[in-house]
Chain A
Amino acid sequence: MISRPLITQRLTWLILALLTFFTLSILFFILGYITARGARVITPEFLFSLPERMGKEGGILPMIVATLYIAILALVVATPLGVGTAVYLSEYTRESFLTRIIRFGADALAGVPSIIFGLFGFILFVIRLRMGWSILAGSLTLAVMILPTIIRTSEEAIRAIPDQLREVSYSLGGTKSQTITRVVLPNALPGIVTGVILGLGRCVAETAAVIFTAGSSLRIPKSVLEPGRTMAVHFYILAREGLSMERAYGSAFLLILSILFINALAYILLFRFTRRLR
């Protein structure tokens, strides 16, 4: 005779396990499908040569370069701005009307569809500031887009640092800025890095915001003022124009690989850093 609580327990376990399995199977189906269709396209030649006939043949070197270029530049712009805002919100202000406005603004911004950012970037950076379709305009647009993510995750991470640690620093004669740079930020780093990685992932994967602002040139961008085509945009164009589904999946596969690689790398670096703190 099995008791009722035990039956409930086992049933709950079964249902939760099935739900988890279902979620994971969707993920693995997508990954598997793209890998099956895209992996065989990846050859050294595909990675390191220029596209020919609009991408129907040849490689995707310019897209790799443009993606790296845009994503890194966007992070370089957005990270200091976002972390700075988070420090200001959590360490230098008390809860007030102003902080609520800033936070509400950041949350609202995080929910805006990326194509709106694309349009905004097109109007402001491309036209008004005369940057033209360029790496610079694209990365500034992406920087604006990922700013709320970086602000909110950094803010949460900073708020999670116990006040006692700050008081220890103060009571040893630390100034506010010393306390922030030596105690608060190093301990909040894992959270901050998580926010930055989320932002990086969105940059690498974004199409709508960059297609309007960085253009879709097939050449390797030589400066930040030249246009470029990111891997995600390349995938979109290849698929939509029906140029080459095979090469589209190749790009998609590479995109997924690079996001996996970025995440793994970031967590390894983070682990090496936080091991000293533990």
Chain B
Amino acid sequence: MVEKIIAENLVITFDSKPILKNINLTIRAGEIFAIIGPAHSGKTTFLRAINRLIENTPGFVRTGSLLLDKRDVRQWDVDTLRRKVGLIFATPIPLPGTIFDNVAYGPRLKGIRNLRTLAEIVERSLRAAFLWDEVKDRLFSSALRLSGGQQQRLCIARTLAVDPEVVMMDEPCSGLDPISTAQIEQALRELKKDYTFILVTNNVKQAARISDRTAFFLGGELVELGPTTSIFTAPKDKRTDDYVSGRIG
């Protein structure tokens, strides 16, 4: 079992207010790791600490260690780190431009210019995100004309196009209808064999449906972590029980 991401005594404050309080956890390669918890429990900050997006906002201070492949994320070259650890946002955010340009954005940043190579990457990524069949005839029309669910799968394809090892998703289905959500969950199950997923979700049922292990965050603390089935059927902590059974939310 390869340990992909390790947080040890991870503390993050924003303007001296604690956001994450002493988080210790390990995410294994090839699993779908769900993080559940109500709003303001630090789930998103945890993701943004891993790919160092928090560094763009003045006010965040991080202590403790946060390792990707046994090396602190701060020691990675930031652009390499972000290519290894992709992030899908809560609302689909296509870049203004064509479907093709969206998927080719990351590869182009790396300096890939050859159109044939780009086209191969675009097709492979769109197929992996289960979007290819719906858009193959209109790759050069605007990405903004896709439906919400299609846009989110486009964002997944765009992230896959830079060959990440870990894909983080920040409530990727929060704005989507059940059918689009099912399509995205289907894509996740298929992609699981090649990637490690961190899935932050408000939707407890979604975590139960697709994740291997689940962590419950509350007010910046890691309350409980374990195999998803035991979190949902036999939680050890009263607060976890209350949350997954819907008594608090």
Binding site for B on A (CB under 8 A): 94, 164-165, 167-175, 178, 182-183, 186-187, 276-278
Residues A171 and B95 in contact, CB atoms below 8 Å apart: no
Instruction: Name 13 A/B residue pairs within 8 A (Cβ), A-sorted.
Output: A164-B91, A164-B93, A167-B56, A168-B155, A171-B86, A172-B83, A172-B105, A173-B79, A173-B82, A174-B105, A182-B108, A277-B142, A278-B142
Top 3 closest pairs, chain A to chain B, by CB: A173-B83, A277-B96, A172-B106
A164-B93, A171-B82, A182-B109 given; 10 more Cβ-contact pairs under 8 Å: A165-B93, A168-B93, A171-B87, A173-B82, A173-B106, A178-B109, A182-B105, A182-B108, A277-B142, A278-B142
Q: How large is the interface on B (under 10, 10 to 19, 20 to 34, 35 or more residues)?
A: 20 to 34
CB distance from A153 to the nearest CB of B (A): 19
* A231 vs B78: C-alpha distance when bound (angstroms): 55
CB distance from B77 to the nearest CB of A (A): 10
Using CB atoms, name the residue of chain A closest to B82: A173
* A166 vs B138: C-alpha distance when bound (angstroms): 25
* A94 vs B98: C-alpha distance when bound (angstroms): 32
Interface mask (B53-88 → A, CB under 8 Å = 1, otherwise 0) = 100101000000000000000000001101100110
* A174 vs B80: C-alpha distance when bound (angstroms): 9
Residues B158 and A172 in contact, CB atoms below 8 Å apart: yes
CB distance from A177 to the nearest CB of B (A): 11
* A278 vs B123: C-alpha distance when bound (angstroms): 22
* A172 vs B84: C-alpha distance when bound (angstroms): 9
A residues near B106, Cβ cutoff 8 Å: 172-174
* A113 vs B32: C-alpha distance when bound (angstroms): 65
Using CB atoms, name the residue of chain A closest to B91: A164
Residues B80 and A167 in contact, CB atoms below 8 Å apart: no
| Interface status of B208 (Cβ within 8 A of chain A) | no
Contacts known (A276-B98, A278-B142); A170 close to B159, Cβ less than 8 A: no
Residues B58 and A172 in contact, CB atoms below 8 Å apart: no
* A134 vs B71: C-alpha distance when bound (angstroms): 63
Using CB atoms, name the residue of chain B closest to A278: B142
Among the listed B53, B98, B144, which residue makes an inter-chain contact with A171, where contact means beta carbons less than 8 Å apart?
B53
Residues B58 and A94 in contact, CB atoms below 8 Å apart: yes
* A20 vs B87: C-alpha distance when bound (angstroms): 50
A residues near B95, Cβ cutoff 8 Å: 165, 168-169, 183
Interface mask (B156-198 → A, CB under 8 Å = 1, otherwise 0) = 0011001000000000000000000000000000000000000
B residues near A173, Cβ cutoff 8 Å: 79-80, 82-83, 106, 109-110, 162
Residues A167 and B53 in contact, CB atoms below 8 Å apart: yes
Contacts known (A164-B89, A168-B89, A168-B95); A174 close to B109, Cβ less than 8 A: yes
| Interface status of B227 (Cβ within 8 A of chain A) | no
Residues B83 and A167 in contact, CB atoms below 8 Å apart: no
* A107 vs B159: C-alpha distance when bound (angstroms): 42
CB distance from B128 to the nearest CB of A (A): 16
Residues B89 and A172 in contact, CB atoms below 8 Å apart: no
* A276 vs B97: C-alpha distance when bound (angstroms): 6
* A276 vs B98: C-alpha distance when bound (angstroms): 7
Residues B51 and A171 in contact, CB atoms below 8 Å apart: yes
A residues near B58, Cβ cutoff 8 Å: 94
A residues near B79, Cβ cutoff 8 Å: 173-175
* A173 vs B86: C-alpha distance when bound (angstroms): 9
B residues near A186, Cβ cutoff 8 Å: 96
* A172 vs B96: C-alpha distance when bound (angstroms): 15
* A178 vs B107: C-alpha distance when bound (angstroms): 12
A residues near B83, Cβ cutoff 8 Å: 172-173
Using CB atoms, name the residue of chain A closest to B86: A171
Residues A278 and B159 in contact, CB atoms below 8 Å apart: no
Residues B53 and A172 in contact, CB atoms below 8 Å apart: no
With most chain B CB atoms within 10 A of its CB, the pick from A94, A164, A174, A178 is A174
Residues B86 and A172 in contact, CB atoms below 8 Å apart: yes
Residues A187 and B80 in contact, CB atoms below 8 Å apart: no
* A172 vs B155: C-alpha distance when bound (angstroms): 11
A residues near B162, Cβ cutoff 8 Å: 172-173
CB distance from B138 to the nearest CB of A (A): 14
* A277 vs B79: C-alpha distance when bound (angstroms): 26
A residues near B109, Cβ cutoff 8 Å: 169, 172-175, 178, 182
* A165 vs B98: C-alpha distance when bound (angstroms): 15
Using CB atoms, name the residue of chain A closest to B89: A164
A residues near B82, Cβ cutoff 8 Å: 170-173
Interface mask (B113-153 → A, CB under 8 Å = 1, otherwise 0) = 00000000000000000000000000000101000000000
